[in-house]
Amino acid sequence: MNYRLIIKDRATQDLRLLANYILVNGNSDVAVKFLNAAEMTFVQLQKTPGMGKVTQLVVSSLGKIRQWRIKDFQDYLIFYRIEDTTVEILRVFHGARDIADVLSELDEEL
């Protein structure tokens, strides 16, 4: 089955902030690799959306929220949902953040 991929504005903002942080604290090559890895992981989720695990950290009116790590950047998590034939990327952030706190805002943001 072909799934349509939607990357929510908040997830795009997350990616920009994370890449900027990596750029400032690392180097431009790593920041570019991060963005490319995120894009490749999004495509992977589009092809096989069920591979991520359902997070139990939040109960959302959005339904089941899944998570998956960015390839080669294992500390960075993608949170997404599957609805019919659509994969929606909701948020992307570092796993050291208070995940439950960030995800509790999902219903308000979307």
Query: What residue spans define the domains of the chain?
Result: 4-109
d(CA 26, CA 18): 11
Helix, strand, coil tally for the chain in percent (to 5): 45, 30, 25
Distant-in-sequence, close-in-space partners of 47: CB < 8 Å, separation ≥ 6: 3
Neighbours of 106 (CB within 10 A): 19
- Is the dihedral angle over the CA atoms 100, 79, 87, 56 positive or is it negative? negative
pLDDT in tens, 77-89: 999 999 999 999 9
Which numeric CATH code is attached to 4-109? 3.30.2310.20
23 close to 100: Cβ distance less than 8 angstroms: no
pLDDT in tens, 45-99: 999 998 888 886 665 666 788 999 999 999 999 999 999 999 999 999 887 777 7
